[in-house]
Amino acid sequence: MIRTLTASVTAALSLPDAINLDDGGSTATAVRGALVTMPSGGAGRAVGDALIFRNR
């Protein structure tokens, strides 16, 4: 599902390229501090890496 959504957003924004960094079971997405996806195990777990986007 996430890959399909990412592909749709990429196309809608007319981006020439996109990179799928990870969409495994521990992947989660948060927007403005709210979790908008749930890891496949049903509960979150500590993750050491993050990709953060901020407005300037």
Q: Which pTM was predicted?
A: 0.43
pLDDT over 70 (residue 44): no
Q: Alpha-carbon dihedral of residues 47, 20, 41, 50, nearest 10 degrees?
A: 20
Average pLDDT of the chain to the nearest whole number? 78
pLDDT over 70, % of the chain: 75
pLDDT band at 27 (very low <50, low <70, confident <90, very high): confident
C-alpha to C-alpha distances, 28 to 12, 14, 15, 16, 32, nearest whole angstrom = 22, 25, 23, 25, 13
Tokens, residue 37 = 């996806």
pLDDT over 70 (residue 29): yes
